[in-house]
Amino acid sequence: LGNRPSKKELEDKNILQRTSEEERQEIRHQIGTKLVRRLSQRPTTEELEQRNILKQKNEEEEQEAKREIKRRLSRKLSLRPTVAELQARRILRFNEYVEVTDSPDYDRRADKPWARLTPADKAAIRKELNEFKSTEMEVHEESRQFTR
């Protein structure tokens, strides 16, 4: 009996209960009411099935429903009009149906030949343009005083 721990030590180690039987019953009752409240707020199985959260338990009916959907969709696809028929009936226009194909990648920037001109080339072009203007182009009478 000398090695036996005290009542306080046993309560600290949660071996002995500190509360009385009535207090424990009261705590259990409070926990029970909380659980009942939470359970009542949960949606019913019918609601969960309607929202497709809970699956129907009958696996065979589910498989049959999937087969029916597949059958219906394949029938709709087989009866679907072709693109040519839709264009003939003027439902589809050309710009609404365009086939997209792959094309090779290449540099699409435009060639800029004027960037490769030397100063001599630029002077020759300027001279030729000025000659053309002086011989071939008409000058308005009021502007003639500004020309050579």
pLDDT in tens, 14-65: 887 777 888 889 999 999 999 999 999 999 888 888 888 887 777 888 889 8
Q: Is residue 19 part of a domain?
A: yes
* 131 part of a folded domain: no
The pLDDT, as a whole number, for residue 34 is 96
| pTM > 0.95: yes or no | no
Domain assignment present for residue 140? The answer is: no
> Residue 26 falls within a domain, yes or no?
yes
Domain limits at 41?
10-79
In a domain, 146, yes or no: no
- Give a yes or no: residue 27 inside a domain: yes
The answer to whether position 91 is within a domain reads no
In angstroms, rounded to a whole number, what is the distance separating the alpha carbons of residues 90 and 99?
18
**Tens digits of residue pLDDT in 107-145:** 888 888 888 899 999 999 999 998 998 888 888 888 888
Residue 100 counted as domain residue: no
